[in-house]
Amino acid sequence: TQSTRPQRILDAVQKNATRGDPRSVVKAIDHFCRNKEWAMNVGDEKGCILDSVVSEVNPATVLELGTYCGYSTVRIASLLPPHAKLITLEFNPDFAAIARQVIAWAGLEDKVQLVEGASGDWIPKMKEQFGVKTFDLVFLDHWKNSYLPDTKLMEECSLLRKGSVLLADNVICPGAPDYLEFVRSSPRYKSQYFKSHLEYTKVEDGLEKSVFLG
């Protein structure tokens, strides 16, 4: 039977990366996506910006919206301090199944909770289901028209505290114009644009870092 692109990404990880070595998993996916098949991972260039924001925030609790194959999940989790937790939401069961295996190959199962389901259903249940008070860092990389409604939902559910950092991928390409307008004009956020390129290409894209001011 025909394999899917996520399955071919998992194969590339299992063939070329070392079990328990997150950096080798990241390298294997980047090599595959740069040389064999493009895929919508945040990639190595924007990934370095992601790494620097994660290191700066040094979060105890992280929420990722949109796991896909788990590339950014592995990047983030590999930088977390010992007892920190990353919850990642993915509503496509096929992608979730692949991501679980990528996360396991990297040896990061203990730091990552992959929740299969839609952000709109799960954000309101974060406190009761996972004992999360607030998130120190949120990485938004799911459907671009869901960034804004989900940000408003996180505010309504009191999941953001003074200093919580939102980091959004693709604010230029494919773009998230309503989200960008919101976080850049709202007095409750301090926003900063990190110019970069669409993964594995020369097309402009970037990450928007927005600090919630409470």
Ligand X SMILES: CCCNc1ncnc2c1ncn2[C@@H]1O[C@H](/C=C/CNC(=O)c2cc(-c3ccc(F)cc3)cc(O)c2O)[C@H](C)[C@H]1O
Q: How far is the CB of 102 from ligand X (least distance, A)?
A: 14
Phi-psi label, residue 68: left if phi above 0, alpha if psi -120 to 50, beta otherwise: left
The candidate with the shortest Cα–Cα distance to 102, out of 75, 71, 76, is 71
Q: Which is nearer to ligand X, 61 or 72 (CB)?
A: 72
Peptide bond into 174 cis (omega under 30): yes
**Is 144 in the active site?**
yes
Q: Cα(176)–Cα(206) distance, rounded to whole angstroms?
A: 11
Residue numbers at the binding site for ligand X (CB under 6 A): 40, 66, 68, 89-92, 95, 118-120, 141-143, 146, 169-170, 173-174, 198-199
Q: Cα(144)–Cα(205) distance, rounded to whole angstroms?
A: 13
Contact pick of 78, 146, 151, 170 for Mg ion (by CB under 5 A): 170
**Is 41 in the active site?**
no
**Is 204 in the active site?**
no
Q: How far is the CB of 129 from ligand X (least distance, A)?
A: 15
Q: Which listed option, Mg ion, ligand X, none, makes contact with residue 44 (CB within 5 to 8 Å by class)?
A: none
Q: Which listed option, Mg ion, ligand X, none, makes contact with residue 93 (CB within 5 to 8 Å by class)?
A: none
Task: Confirm if 130 and 54 have CB atoms less than 8 A apart.
Answer: no
Q: How far is the CB of 199 from ligand X (least distance, A)?
A: 6
Residue with token string 């505010």? 155
